[in-house]
Structure 1
């Protein structure tokens, strides 16, 4: 099993309300992907409540049966559409992919 973990930091220029709206929209969009992408086994999206500066705002964890399935997911048009929105509201992200 492959796990894909991405942490996102929202754009600091967003107001508190816009940041909250954007985080929840990201969550909704990401959680809607599994029925659209066969290579996407599971999706979990968490919105951070830790107020420290070191914390990121949103975390995504997906699972895939293989590295190839992860690659198909990454390039899938439905995923790319969601990714375009995410890139418009974030300032930073970190990614870890590993085999479990």
Structure 2
């Protein structure tokens, strides 16, 4: 199994919207990718919540049964279509993939 965890910090204002609006839109777009490929075992998207510690605005926590499944997700056209929006609204990104 391979875990794929990504965190994004968003710009205060981008694409004609504020951070909260873009975070909600990004969450919706990411959640639409939850069942794109066979081998997706876990796919969870969360926004930073008031009262809880967070240095980033959005996190994706996912697990795939193989590196091949992760690669298929990464290359899927629906996932690829997210990149322009995410690139426009993000200030920074952190990612870590690891086998367990």
Pairing of 1:18-37 with structure 2 (within 5 A): 18-37=18-37
Equivalent residue for 1:73?
Answer: 73
Aligned mates of 1:39, 1:78 — CA distance in 2: 16
Equivalent residue for 2:93?
Answer: 93
After TM superposition, the runs of 4+ consecutive aligned structure 1 residues lying more than 4 A away are none
Higher helix proportion: 1
Equivalent residue for 1:42?
Answer: 42
TM-score (norm 2): 0.83
TM-score (norm 1): 0.83
Superposed CA RMSD: 2.2
**What is the Cα deviation at residue 13 of structure 1?**
4.0
Stretches of structure 2 lacking an aligned partner (at least 5 in a row) = none
